[in-house]
């Protein structure tokens, strides 16, 4: 006989949740029945700030290698109760084992996910994990994190902070390389121009007087605060 409609929908939902990447994304609520579908322990992992794969971690990452970057992006977000996200050990090993799969992902998709990571409050935490796992050089030049100073901006979020962090990560590059690297990442023209300007002023000494601040405001317009923040972060990171 024909299955009742709610049984069919429930089966479809359970199958859908089984294909999700992380347990915290594999939950759903039936507002009519008032039932929480959580067959993979997502609620407990959410409470404990744990990022865990649904099923076999390597299989989930092989289905779409962008999920590798997506895990780090989630790790850059705010965790419950002021904690930091922890990547469960078997998933962490899979991130390292499957990292080369990122080379087969379209650069546009990588840029979108990576910039979201840079805009998140715990970007430093996620970038450090990418560095430890050998994943960061698949996105940015080797050694980008060393002496960058982005930890100074820890806890802040938003698009402007994302561009400031990107500038600091590219601090060691020659000015002429900046647009080349960002075009390879398929960054928007607006982002490329903003990062170029921030990079150009990176080695300038932060303003010390009211007159210097007025001059910087006149020269850089609304972006003057970003220039000050980037210069101060870089100076702090390099013993200034």
CB 40 within 8 A of CB 23: yes
Cα dihedral sign for 238, 209, 193, 203? negative
Supply the pLDDT for residue 13.
66
Query: Is 6 a residue whose pLDDT tops 50?
Result: no
Helix (H) or strand (E) segment spanning residue 86? strand 86-87
The answer to whether 22 touches 53, Cβ cutoff 8 Å, is yes
Say if strands 28-30 and 35-37 run parallel, antiparallel, or are unpaired: antiparallel
Residue 1 has what pLDDT? 39
Residues 211, 199, 71, 116, CA torsion sign: positive
Report how far residue 50's alpha carbon sits from residue 23's, in angstroms, rounded to the nearest whole number: 9
pLDDT of 208 strictly over 80 = no
- Confidence class for position 10, pLDDT limits 50, 70, 90: low
| Full 3-state SS string of 30-82 | ECCCCEEECCCCHHHHHHCCEECECCCHHHHHHHCCHHHHHHHHHHCCCCHHH
Residue found under tokens 């962008």 = 66
Note the pLDDT tens digit of each residue in 17-51.
888 899 999 988 877 778 788 888 999 999 999 99
Mean pLDDT, the chain, integer = 88
Give the predicted TM-score (pTM) of the model: 0.87
Angle, helices 177-184 vs 189-200, to 10°: value is: 150
| Confidence band, pLDDT 50/70/90 cuts, at residue 97 | very high
pLDDT tens digits, 213-240 = 777 777 767 677 888 888 888 888 876 5
Q: Is 193 helix (H, G, I), strand (E, B) or coil?
A: helix
């Amino acid at each position: 006989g024909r299955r009742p409609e709610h049984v069919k929908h429930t089966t479809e939902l359970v199958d859908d949740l089984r294909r999700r990447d992380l347990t915290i994304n594999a939950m759903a609520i039936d507002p009519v029945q008032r039932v929480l579908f959580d067959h993979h322990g997502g609620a407990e992992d959410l409470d404990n700030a744990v990022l865990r794969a649904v099923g076999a971690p390597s299989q989930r990452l092989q289905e779409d290698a962008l999920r590798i970057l997506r895990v780090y992006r989630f790790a850059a977000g705010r965790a419950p109760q002021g904690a930091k996200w922890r990547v469960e050990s078997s998933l962490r090993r899979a991130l390292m084992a499957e990292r080369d799969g990122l080379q087969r992902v379209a650069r546009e998709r990588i840029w979108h996910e990576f910039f979201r990571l840079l805009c998140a409050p715990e970007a430093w935490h996620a970038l450090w994990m990418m560095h430890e796992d050998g994943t960061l050089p698949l996105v940015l030049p080797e050694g980008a994190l060393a002496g960058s100073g982005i930890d100074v901006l820890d806890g802040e979020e938003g698009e402007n902070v994302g561009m400031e962090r990107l500038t600091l990560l590219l601090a060691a590059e020659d000015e002429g390389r900046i647009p080349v690297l960002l075009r390879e990442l398929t960054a928007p023209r607006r982002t490329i121009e903003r990062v170029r300007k921030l990079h150009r002023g990176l080695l300038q000494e932060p303003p010390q007087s009211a007159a210097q601040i007025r001059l910087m405001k006149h020269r850089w317009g609304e972006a003057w605060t970003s220039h000050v923040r980037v210069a101060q972060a870089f100076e702090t990171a390099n013993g200034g």
